[in-house]
């Protein structure tokens, strides 16, 4: 099974072009003001023009007001949404976009109810940060904690070109999501690392 690749926290033209050339399936823009990877609407719209229709454009939000998310959906051609906060299933369903809910896998063991709370999510993103914290910290969780759930799993947290193959073999996710593992600094990707990461993912299912 082909494992899909998402690169999150994109802020630069060259990085997006490199990611597309490397064969990514999705690109993520961060709309969390506290994040060093956050971009404004004007920049997001400019960068979005570089993304072909076959590549998903995902908008990442964390406890944003519904009005703010609606505004972003109207102004930017987002094809999917990703929620990192305390948003419940009903809240996430109101924007007319497929959506992903992030589960914080760092810290205490996550209870089974956590995975059943968002039945309408098309996938759950399992990240290495603790509950209430932002993602993108480069922290991997204990992959042996990965549950067997009916929804698709997007694996995130601490992934890079050196460990993504092992992560795929152990977790068998539907997709992998990388940000800090291919960066020079927050929001600034390394083109060579983008290519190495994507090649490593592709090699894991050749």
Catalytic residues: 8, 127
Sequence-distant (≥ 6) Cβ neighbours of residue 192 within 8 angstroms: none
Residue 107 φ then ψ, to 5°: 85, -140
Sequence-distant (≥ 6) Cβ neighbours of residue 126 within 8 angstroms: 102, 103, 105, 141, 146, 153, 154, 155, 156, 157
Using alpha carbons, select from 125, 98, 88 the residue that is nearest to residue 110.
Answer: 125
| Burial tier of 59 (Cβ tally within 10 Å: 0-12, 13-18, 19+) | buried
């Amino acid at each position: 099974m082909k494992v899909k690749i998402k690169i999150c926290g994109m802020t630069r033209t060259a990085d997006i072009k490199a990611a597309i050339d490397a064969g990514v399936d999705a690109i993520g823009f961060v709309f969390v003001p506290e994040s060093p990877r956050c971009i404004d609407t004007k920049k997001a719209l400019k960068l979005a023009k570089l993304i072909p229709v076959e590549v998903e454009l995902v908008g990442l939000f964390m406890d944003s007001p519904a009005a703010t998310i609606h505004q972003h959906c109207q102004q930017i051609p987002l094809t999917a949404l990703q929620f990192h906060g305390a948003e419940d299933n009903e809240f996430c369903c109101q924007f007319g976009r497929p959506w992903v809910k992030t589960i914080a896998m760092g810290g205490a063991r996550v209870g089974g109810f956590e995975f059943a709370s968002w039945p309408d999510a098309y996938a759950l993103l399992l990240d290495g940060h603790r509950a209430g914290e932002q993602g993108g910290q480069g922290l991997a969780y204990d992959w042996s904690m990965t549950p067997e759930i009916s929804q698709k799993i997007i694996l995130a947290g601490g992934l890079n070109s050196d460990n993504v193959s092992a992560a795929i073999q152990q977790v068998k996710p539907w997709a992998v999501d990388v940000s800090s593992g291919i960066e020079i600094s927050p929001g600034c990707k390394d083109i060579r690392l983008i290519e190495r990461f994507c090649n490593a993912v592709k090699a894991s299912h050749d």
